[in-house]
Chain A
Amino acid sequence: MQAIFHTAVPCAWAERLGDRPWPLLPVANRPLLDYWLETCGEQGVAEVQVVLGEHAKQIEDFAEDGARWKVRIHYTFGRPGETPLDYLRIAASRGMEGALLYLGGPFFMRRRQAYRPASFENMEPSRIDAGDAPLFLFGRNADEVRALLAGGAVAGRGLEAIHINPFPIASIKAYYTLNMKMVGGEFSRYVTAGFSSGDRSSIGYNVRTPPSSHLQAPILVGDDCRFGAMTTIGPSAVISNHVIVDAHTELAHCLILQDTYIGRNLEIRHKIVAGKRVVDPLDGTVVEIDDAWLVAKNRPEMRSEDFARYVILWFVALLLAALQVVPFLVIYPLVRLRRIGILERQLFHDPHTGYINLPGLRKLRNRKSIVFSTFKALSLDRFPWLLFVLQGRLFLCGQPPMRHPEDDGLIKQLPHYYPGAFCYQDYNKDSDRLVDSLWYAHIRSLYEDLKILVKALVSRFLRAGR
Chain B
Amino acid sequence: MLVNCTKQDGIGIIQIDRSLTAATVDSFRDQLGSWQSAENEVKNFVVDMEKVDFMDSAGLGSLIAVLKRVSERGGDMKIACLQKKPRMVFEITRAYKVFEIYDSVESALRAYR
Contacts and interface: CB of A to CB of B under 8 A. Distances in A.
A285 B93 CA distance: 17
Nearest to A250: B94
B58 A278 contact: no
A289 B89 CA distance: 9
Contacts of B88: 271, 278, 280, 285, 287
Nearest to B84: A285
Interface residues of A, number: 17
Nearest to B88: A287
Interface in B24-74: 54, 56-58
Contacts, number: 40
Interface stretch (A261-269, A316-324, A326-334, A441-449): A261-269
B57 A291 contact: yes
A294 B84 contact: no
Interface string B82-103: 0011001101111000000000
A290 B92 CA distance: 15
Given A285-B84, A289-B56, A294 B89 contact: yes
Nearest to B85: A287
Contact of A285 (B56, B57, B85): B85
Contact of B89 (A265, A269, A283, A287): A287
A271 B85 contact: no
Interface string A417-437: 000000000000000000000
A268 B93 CA distance: 8
A62 interface: no
Contacts of A280: 84, 88
A285 B87 CA distance: 11
Nearest to A266: B92
Nearest to A278: B88
B91 A294 contact: no
Contacts of B91: 267, 269, 271
A265 B61 CA distance: 14
Interface string A275-288: 00010100101010
B58 A291 contact: yes
Nearest to B95: A267
A269 B97 CA distance: 14
B56 A278 contact: no
A295 interface: yes
A291 B88 CA distance: 14
A280 B56 CA distance: 17
8 closest cross-chain pairs (CB), A and B? A291-B56, A287-B85, A293-B57, A291-B57, A267-B94, A287-B88, A266-B92, A285-B84
Given A271-B88, A280-B88, A294-B56, 16 more contacts: A267-B92, A267-B94, A268-B92, A271-B91, A278-B88, A278-B92, A280-B84, A285-B84, A285-B85, A285-B88, A287-B85, A287-B89, A291-B22, A294-B89, A294-B93, A295-B92
22 contacts: A265-B93, A267-B91, A268-B92, A269-B91, A271-B88, A271-B91, A271-B92, A278-B88, A278-B92, A280-B84, A283-B84, A285-B85, A285-B88, A287-B54, A287-B85, A287-B89, A289-B56, A289-B89, A291-B22, A293-B57, A294-B56, A295-B92
Interface of A: 265-269, 271, 278, 280, 283, 285, 287, 289-291, 293-295
